[in-house]
Amino acid sequence: MAASHESASRGPASTTSGTHEYETGAQPDVFWKSPEGSVTLLHGDSLSALNSMPEESVDVIFADPPYFLSNGGTTCQNGKRVKVDKGRWDKSLGIEENHAFNRSWLEACQRVLTPNGTIWVSGTSHVIHSVGFAMQQLGFKPLNEIVWEKPNPPPNLSCRYFTHSTETVLWAAKGRKSKHFFDYPRMRAENGGKQMKSVWRMTAPGKSEKTHGRHPTQKPLSLLERIIAASCPEDAHVLDPFNGSGTTGVAAARAGMSYTGIDLSDEYLELTKARLLAEHPEWAAPAKSKRRLRAVK
């Protein structure tokens, strides 16, 4: 399915209770649900999936949206010049349409956030200014601008620019009146007893995080683990509208939070499921016993 860049339309009014119920008749298809119900993976366009979710049902959102980078340029991979082509979903539709798209999904995220809920959005200069502007337009409350510094970035082959070595992660609360959660003591403790700064030095995910398959823009678990530790109140419901390989889901499950992930690609949702089952082998569907089936007959 191609990415929908239409402007946001409100979904049907929520009639369900509980944070993990999706309305009957709504568009997204449940790709997989963990047997105890803490994880739901939805296959489909994030805008329709978000619009089918109950209002104020999510505490923390991490979104790693298309960066609109795959437009015929080149980059360096393993020392070689290669074309940037992360997928159809990453192609630019032009400045205005890209911004309309960002505004639409951010508005849909704002609707599902609890009043004190927060959202993190990662991006490079190709997308992050539009995201920041859309957040201002929608009345989000800015909290932090995190700089994720990569110690080993690929070299810049053209030698006409500084080596790109950072990504930005914007952290914002649902609205001006939100009283957001921040685990300050934990962050200070993790930083050796000193206040943690907004520049985070973390390596890109290595082979050990890619044993179940590859995703072209996989985020490191260390980044998501910090985000979740810093901003999730107890028993939080975490959402990622651009699930990818499921890094947010793995980090949320490790922290004991519930999780909903949305992606257009069933291949990436399959990868996510494999990563989650590696964390929780008990979530695998039990093999059906022929003996038991006979007994039931």
Binding region for ligand SAM (CB under 6 A)? 3-4, 45-46, 64, 66, 89, 215, 217-219, 242, 244-245, 247, 262-265, 268
The C-alpha atoms of residue 18 and residue 6 are separated, in whole angstroms, by 29
Nearest distance from C-beta of residue 220 to ligand SAM, angstroms: 8
The full DSSP string for 131-161 is HHHHHHHHT-EEEEEEEEE-SSPPP-TTSSS
16 or 265: whose CB is closer to ligand SAM? Answer: 265
171 or 268: whose CB is closer to ligand SAM? Answer: 268
Nearest distance from C-beta of residue 101 to ligand SAM, angstroms: 8
Nearest distance from C-beta of residue 283 to ligand SAM, angstroms: 19
How many CB atoms neighbour CB 154 within 10 A? 16
User: What angle is formed at CA 14 by the lines to CA 10 and CA 19, rounded to 5 degrees?
Assistant: 115
108 or 236: whose CB is closer to ligand SAM? Answer: 108
Strands 141-149 and 166-173: antiparallel
Nearest distance from C-beta of residue 202 to ligand SAM, angstroms: 13
The C-alpha atoms of residue 236 and residue 231 are separated, in whole angstroms, by 9
92 or 217: whose CB is closer to ligand SAM? Answer: 217
61 or 178: whose CB is closer to ligand SAM? Answer: 61
Residue pair 32/41 in contact by the 8 Å Cβ criterion: yes
Nearest distance from C-beta of residue 261 to ligand SAM, angstroms: 9
Residue nearest to ligand SAM (CB): 244
User: What angle is formed at CA 26 by the lines to CA 91 and CA 21, rounded to 5 degrees?
Assistant: 110
3-state secondary structure of 31: strand
